[in-house]
């Protein structure tokens, strides 16, 4: 199964595509969609949508995993991030791609075994699990890969439970 992981944001939206085949997980592609600060919010969202559409057509994921909104420290950014998340969900819906959402706590628990793991710990685990030569940059990209991995592990658990 090909999974697209999304770490939503308006300035930067991290994405990562992984393949999960017969229990083996491999990175396929990853990166970050960036928008310019001086552009109006609606034009930034259009740019995100258009770039996501290109990614969906190019990589043809069978599933999308996206991070849930969680803002304990900076409530000011919740609306723009929520808008970017909505655009990502719209792109998935327009392409009939099923989606799953995961909280940051669930992602950290799944990747590191500890729900309060720090960002560098998650990044190091992603690098190790996916056998990458270095930590993916920017942080949003590493987070997107962590979200995709969380979905792959969750999917494997659900399949095992139904057997």
Phi, psi of 78 (to 5 degrees): -65, -40
Report the domain count for the chain: 1
Mean pLDDT of 78-93: 94
Model pLDDT for residues 88-105, shown as the tens digit of each residue: 999 999 999 999 999 999
Say whether 68 is catalytic. Answer: no
pLDDT at 69: 83
* Cα–Cα distance for residue pair 145/23, rounded to 1 Å: 17
Given the residues 19, 37, 67, 143, the one annotated as active site: 67
Q: Give the list of residues 6+ apart from residue 29 with CB closer than 8 angstroms, or none.
A: 16, 17, 59
Say whether 140 is catalytic. Answer: yes
Say whether 7 is catalytic. Answer: yes
- Using pLDDT thresholds of 50, 70 and 90, give the confidence band for residue 121: very high
Q: Is the pTM of this model over 0.85?
A: yes
- Using pLDDT thresholds of 50, 70 and 90, give the confidence band for residue 78: confident
Mean pLDDT of 106-126: 95
Q: What is the CATH number of the domain that holds 53?
A: 3.30.420.10
Given the residues 7, 19, 36, 42, the one annotated as active site: 7
The parent domain of residue 125 ranges over: 2-162
* Closest alpha carbon to 94 in 33, 52, 43, 44: 52
- Using pLDDT thresholds of 50, 70 and 90, give the confidence band for residue 42: very high
**Contact status, residue 58 vs residue 97, Cβ threshold 8 Å:** no
- Using pLDDT thresholds of 50, 70 and 90, give the confidence band for residue 43: very high
pLDDT at 155: 66
Mean pLDDT of the chain: 92
């Amino acid at each position: 199964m090909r999974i697209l992981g999304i770490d939503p944001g308006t300035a930067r939206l991290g994405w990562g595509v992984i393949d999960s085949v017969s229990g083996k997980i491999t990175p396929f592609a990853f990166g970050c969609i960036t928008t310019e600060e001086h552009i109006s919010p609606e034009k930034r969202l259009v740019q995100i949508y258009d770039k996501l559409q290109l990614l969906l057509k190019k990589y043809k994921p069978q599933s999308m995993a996206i991070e849930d909104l969680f803002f304990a420290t900076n409530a000011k950014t919740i609306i723009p991030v929520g808008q970017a998340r909505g655009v990502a969900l719209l792109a998935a819906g327009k392409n009939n791609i099923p989606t799953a959402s995961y909280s940051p706590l669930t992602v950290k628990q799944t990747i590191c075994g500890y729900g309060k793991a720090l960002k560098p710990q998650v990044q190091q685990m992603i690098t190790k699990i996916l056998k990458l030569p270095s930590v993916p940059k920017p942080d949003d990209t590493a987070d997107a890969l962590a979200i995709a991995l969380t979905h792959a592990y969750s999917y494997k658990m659900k399949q095992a439970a139904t057997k």
